Amino acid sequence: MKILSSEDIQKALIQQASTLNIQSEEDLHKLKKLFAKEHEIDLLSNFKLQKAYESMLAEGWKGDPTLQRLLRKRKVRTLSGVTVITVLTKPYPCPGKCVFCPTEPGMPKSYLSNEPGAMRAVLDDFHPRDQVKTRLDSLTKQGHETDKIEMIVLGGTFSAYNRRYQTDFVRALFNACNEKQGKSLKEAQEINESAKHRIIGLSLETRPDHITEEEIKHMLKLGCTKVQIGVQHIDNAILELNKRGEVIEDTIRAIRLMKDAGLKIATHLMPNLPGSTPEKDKWMVREFFENPNFKPDQLKIYPCVVTPYAELEQWWKEGRYEAYSDEVLMDILIEMKRHIPEYVRIERLFRDIPGESILEGSQMTNMRQLLQAKMAKEGIVCHCIRCREIKGDVFDPDDTELRVFEYEASEGKEFFISFNDPVRDKLCSLLRLRFSSYSLQGKPHFIKELEGAALVREVHTYGAQVRVGRSDDTASQHGGLGRRMIEKAEEISRAAGFKKVAIIAGVGTRNYYRKWGYELEGTYMTKKLS
């Protein structure tokens, strides 16, 4: 009898699991127990099986996508179609003096050293390369695909750091994902176009009052595709009381400029700020999506809490601030979700601050689950993107329905183009098309590449992440939905009289758009319409 090696046993188990068409974690676990008993070995870990799976693919095996997903740990991390990696910049003075924002020594403004993401950054001494490498290693061991990365840079006001640091930091992010190192940012980006780990989106965090035409141009050179801005509230009196140092007119201008540059926009709102009330907070979210001056693409909701190292801690001790009860806060959040339009994704409902650091305010760690249960009981449905994503559900791209939702925003016109599963009301993919305020008003654009161009601000297919160059009949990615949405955007743009389409494409997506006739122009992928 031939004695099988450990790798042979692992491959044999994978082959049998595929032959048996294993569909559940429970059935996979039963098979692993049988193998362990038969071969008198310990139960094989998913990590070892995942490595054997990759080895078999390299040897020419066709693969089994369902089995591969069963082997992954924390599957939710890549169920939105990309791998999200978050990094923090080094501690640096922030121009803001917000009373609610902690200023812990040795930490970037607003971040505490015991937050999970911050702890990883501290261990890596805030070095961008090491932070990325640590996260890539962890995700790979969990069995996740890491070829399509959304890189999120946090750390307060990125625009306040000197530009040399910004450039070096971002270059290091790209080089951490590249096999070959680029000496300049431009070279690192060019290498990343076809790298093993491609950065398909880069998110930067800043304040609305730092957004200018020149700042946007600089962000674009860095490879930025999305900007996170802290709005917090839209009442100037509340902003002044909280020493925000800006007015809502700054936010309105910033949102318009960023949309007209093709950037995707994520905004932060903070219910329960000093000076606010439940009624004002409910009005804030209604106004945020009814007033065309706002209407962002993504939303993070951070209910105000009292933490150490913040001026608000002293206010609380003096009796000048009291947080809402969990019941009141839940009511506000439900009202917010009730008014979220279909083109918005709620990224967060709560800041990931450990309970021991919350001196006053809600400590509900399962906020989202409690909200969902209460809304289901009351028959309230949230239409945000996150609640409708297809995630890991199986569907046939040919059975999807194309929808186009048109709305006015920031003196321009937006088209939310999407493919949906009409039976389950699930979102499979989306594209954001914009006619800028400059085009509609006949004004010269501040970015020459966008002169007279319709803008595609985002193209995204949801569902389990599928590796570049592979197909998966059970997943939504690489099924042609992106191409069909681009064709629809071109059709709408052509009918409106545009002769050109410009896509703000992440560096790692440039080759994808080249397949459809787009060429790199400045930092955009552009195409002339016939």
Average of per-residue pLDDT across 464-472: 49
Sort residue 223 into left (φ over 0), alpha (ψ -120 to 50) or beta: left
Q: Which pLDDT does position 486 carry in this prediction?
A: 97
H or E element in which residue 313 lies: helix 311-317
Quick one: tokens of 257? Answer: 């400029």
Asked if pLDDT for residue 478 goes beyond 70, the answer is: no
What DSSP assignment string belongs to 151-174?
EEEESS-GGGS-HHHHHHHHHHHH
Spatial CA neighbour of 490 closest among 526, 519, 523 = 526
Q: Which pLDDT does position 474 carry in this prediction?
A: 47
Lookup result for tokens 């967060």: 348
Question: Above pLDDT 90, what percent of the chain?
Answer: 67
Sort residue 434 into left (φ over 0), alpha (ψ -120 to 50) or beta: beta
Give 59-115 pLDDT, tens digit per residue: 878 777 777 777 765 544 444 568 999 999 999 988 889 999 999 999 998 999 998
Give 70-85 pLDDT, tens digit per residue: 776 554 444 456 899 9
Instruction: State the Cα–Cα distance between residues 47 and 73, nearest whole angstrom.
Output: 9
Asked if pLDDT for residue 413 goes beyond 70, the answer is: yes
pTM score over 0.75: yes
Quick one: tokens of 3? Answer: 């004695």
Q: Report all structural domains of the chain as residue ranges with CATH numbers, in order of start.
A: 6-71 (no CATH), 397-528 (3.40.630.30)
Give 290-339 pLDDT, tens digit per residue: 999 999 999 999 999 999 999 999 999 999 999 999 999 999 999 999 88
CB contact set of 235 (below 8 Å; sequence gap of 6+): 248, 275, 276, 280, 284
CA distances from 321 to 69, 100, 304 (A): 47, 11, 11
Asked if pLDDT for residue 2 goes beyond 60, the answer is: no
Instruction: State the Cα–Cα distance between residues 169 and 165, nearest whole angstrom.
Output: 6
- Cross-sheet strand order for the sheet of 454-461: 401-409, 412-421, 426-435, 454-461, 500-503, 524-528, 519-521
CB contact set of 316 (below 8 Å; sequence gap of 6+): 306, 322, 359, 360
Asked if pLDDT for residue 47 goes beyond 90, the answer is: no
* Pair 367, 374: CB distance under 8 Å: no
- β partners of residue 165: none
Give 195-227 pLDDT, tens digit per residue: 999 999 999 999 999 999 999 999 999 999 999
Q: What is the 3-state secondary structure (H, E, C) of 271-290?
A: CCCCCCCHHHHHHHHHHHHH
In one letter, which amino acid is 317? K
- The mean pLDDT value of the chain amounts to 89
Give 237-296 pLDDT, tens digit per residue: 999 999 999 999 999 999 999 999 999 999 999 999 999 999 999 999 999 999 999 999
| pLDDT band at residue 3 using 50, 70 and 90 as cut-offs | low
Sort residue 260 into left (φ over 0), alpha (ψ -120 to 50) or beta: alpha
Quote helix, strand, coil % in the chain, to nearest 5. Answer: 40, 20, 40
Quick one: tokens of 388? Answer: 């409708």
Report helix, strand or coil for 264. Answer: strand
Q: Which pLDDT does position 175 carry in this prediction?
A: 97
Q: Which pLDDT does position 56 carry in this prediction?
A: 82
Q: Which residue has the higher pLDDT, 216 or 351?
A: 216
Q: Which residue has the higher pLDDT, 116 or 443?
A: 443
CA distances from 292 to 286, 288, 383, 492 (A): 11, 8, 19, 21
Give 371-381 pLDDT, tens digit per residue: 888 999 999 98
Asked if pLDDT for residue 31 goes beyond 50, the answer is: yes
* Pair 500, 528: CB distance under 8 Å: yes
Q: Which residue has the higher pLDDT, 352 or 47?
A: 352
Question: Above pLDDT 70, what percent of the chain?
Answer: 93
- β partners of residue 85: 151
Instruction: State the Cα–Cα distance between residues 288 and 341, nearest whole angstrom.
Output: 11
Quick one: tokens of 392? Answer: 């890991």
Q: Which pLDDT does position 75 carry in this prediction?
A: 46
